[in-house]
Amino acid sequence: MGIVNLTPDSFYDGGHYFSCAASLQRIAKIIEEGADIIDLGAFSSRPGAHDVSIKEEIGRLLPIIEKTKEKFPTLPISIDTFRAEVADKAIQAGADMINDISGGELDNRMYEVIAKHQVPYIMMHMRGTPKTMQNLTDYKDLIGEIALSFGKRIDKLRSMGIKDIILDPGFGFSKTLAQNYELLDRINEFQYFNLPILAGISRKSMIYKKIHVQPEDALTGTIALNTLLLYKGVQIIRVHDVKEAKQIINLLS
């Protein structure tokens, strides 16, 4: 899954693909590099990011979705949003799946939208909001509590007729550095649910803070940890650097 941030303030590539032309160039490049899915996001979830109105988020996304579908009609498009109205409009414009960092916790209409359109739903684990999440890292049993949260939400989704569910345990979201590495070590335990697992660790602080570099110098660490994730059974890796990720997959296949 190749990341395309349509924001001016994302932690790594904020502002690089903010214009429509730059976004389409980025999409064409990551398709050439082998992306299987693109993930469009118009609301930065980094701690301290500026708020974006629903109208602005939709305004950023819809032209890119429509132009991407015109140019690359078979390319699956994922939309990184926690807002039901944004998800609804994006799907109507041609998006194929929704990637929700809140797992439905920040907008109680999200599950209704997914049920109506019957698109795949990526359900991430996070406590609180992007602004408060790093104050909510007190776990007695990290993996057990994430699994319990997933279990409750999976039951709710299935009761609404939603079957295409992908789990994302949420590296970097309401988790300390040490907790991120415990999650990395034990991520295979979520195979209990018999659902696809997605992981996004690309150039995140769990890498660059541990090896004392900046995000732009965290590619080597990203490659190393993505290799480990694939060995542990993760089916989808969400990345900024598609060419390198595809090389890892080809080496391991």
The pLDDT score that the predictor gives to residue 49 is 59
Whether 158 is catalytic is no
Q: CB neighbours of 33 closer than 8 A, spacing ≥ 6?
A: 2, 242, 243, 246
Can you list the pairs that 136-145 forms with residues at least 24 positions away whose Cβ atoms lie under 8 Å?
136/174, 137/174, 137/175, 137/176, 137/179, 139/179, 142/175, 142/179, 142/182, 142/183, 143/182, 143/183, 143/186, 143/189, 143/190
Catalytic residue, chosen from 204, 210, 243, 246, is: 204
CATH code, domain carrying 248: 3.20.20.20
**Cα–Cα distance, 247 to 211 (Å, whole number):** 23
The pLDDT score that the predictor gives to residue 7 is 78
**Cα–Cα distance, 157 to 136 (Å, whole number):** 25
The pLDDT score that the predictor gives to residue 14 is 45
98 to 21, 81, 144, 208, 251: CA distances (angstroms) = 23, 7, 25, 28, 29
Is there a contact between 18 and 7 (Cβ–Cβ < 8 Å)? Answer: yes
**In Å, how far from its chain's centre is CA 183?**
16
The pLDDT score that the predictor gives to residue 62 is 95
Q: What is the pLDDT along the chain (253 residues), one digit of tens a residue?
A: 999 988 774 544 444 545 778 889 999 999 999 999 999 999 877 665 567 899 999 999 999 999 999 999 999 999 999 999 999 999 999 999 999 999 999 999 999 999 999 999 999 999 999 889 999 999 999 999 999 999 999 999 999 999 999 999 999 999 999 999 999 999 999 999 999 999 999 999 999 999 999 999 999 999 999 999 999 999 999 999 999 999 999 999 8
The pLDDT score that the predictor gives to residue 46 is 67
Q: CB neighbours of 133 closer than 8 A, spacing ≥ 6?
A: 47, 126, 127, 173, 174
Q: Read off the pTM.
A: 0.93
Q: Which amino acid is at 236?
A: I
Whether 204 is catalytic is yes
Catalytic residue, chosen from 89, 238, 243, 246, is: 238
Q: Which two tokens stand for residue 52?
A: 């974006």
Q: Of 162, 198, 187, nearest to 37 (Cα)? A: 198
Which residues does residue 198 pair with via DSSP β-bridges, in sequence order? 236
Instruction: Give the domain extent around 31.
Output: 2-252
Domain count, the chain: 1
